[in-house]
Structure 1
C-alpha cells in the first residue's frame, strides 16, 4: 500500500544527502562568498542548524531519536507532536528518514484501527 524505503531512495534526488538522514524540513546547505575589503572573493558554505532530539511517538509508543533542524523543530511543536508532523508534511520536505518514520506510523495506526474494528464486527 505504501512505498517501501528502498523504492523511495530511487525516487528522491539528493543533492545534499545529509538532509535525507534526518528531519531537515527542506533546509539545505547554502553557498556564498566571503568578501573582504580587497574584494577577493572566497567560496564558503553555511550548514543548517541541526540538533539531535528524542521525540515520543504516540502511535509507536516509544521514543524516536532523530536529527532535526530547528525549523523542523518549530513545525513539530506547531503541529503538536512528531506523529502529526510526519503525517501532514509534504513528502519532499521529509526526506528518506521522515518517509521511513511516516510509513512506520501509518502502519501502526492502521493496524490499531483494524484491531479496534475486528472485535466490534465480531460482537455485532
Structure 2
C-alpha cells in the first residue's frame, strides 16, 4: 500500500520541463513511448508538444506580452475570452509554469491597485458632493 502511495505522490509532484517554465504549456509535456516494428524490435519514440509563439495584449498590465504556448493553451485562452481571463482564472496547478504564476501575481497586484484608485476616486467624489451641498446651503441662507 505504501509503495502505491509513493508512486501516486511522485506523479503529483512531477517536475515540469524547463522549456515549459518559460512559457504557457497548460500541463503538456514530452511523451515517451516504444514503437514496435514487425520483428518486435522496440525503438524509443518521443512526441513533443506543438509550441507556437504569439503576442497577446494584456489590458490589465497595459502591455503586449510575447509568450511561447501550446495549441492547447491557445484554445483555452480563446475559451476563456481573453489572455487576462485565462491567466487570472486558471489554477496555478493547471498553469504549471513560473511565467504563468508571475503573470498572475502581477495582474492581481495591478487589479488591486486599480480597485484602490476607484475607491479613492469615489470617496473624493462624495467629499466634493458634500462640499457642493454645503456651499449651496450657505448661498441659500444668504
Residue of structure 2 in register with 1:44 after alignment: 45
Contact 1:22–1:98 (CA<8 Å) still a contact in 2?
yes
**Offset at 1:120?**
1.2
**Offset at 1:13?**
5.5
Q: Which structure has the larger Rg over C-alpha atoms?
A: 2
1:123 to 108, 122, 125: 125
> Within the alignment, does 1:100 sit opposite 2:102 as a pair?
yes
* Superposition RMSD in Å: 1.4
**Offset at 1:55?**
0.4
Contact 1:14–1:20 (CA<8 Å) still a contact in 2?
no
Runs of 4 or more, structure 1, over 3 Å off, are: none
Contact 1:24–1:93 (CA<8 Å) still a contact in 2?
no
Normalized against structure 1, the TM-score is what?
A: 0.85
> Which gives a bigger RCO, structure 1 or 2 (Cα 8 Å, sep 6+)?
1
For residues 6-49 of structure 1, the C-alpha deviation after alignment (integer angstroms, 9 at most, x for no partner) is xxxxxx86242222211111111101012111111011211100
Contact 1:34–1:43 (CA<8 Å) still a contact in 2?
yes
Aligned-partner Cα distance in 2 for 1:13–1:22: 17
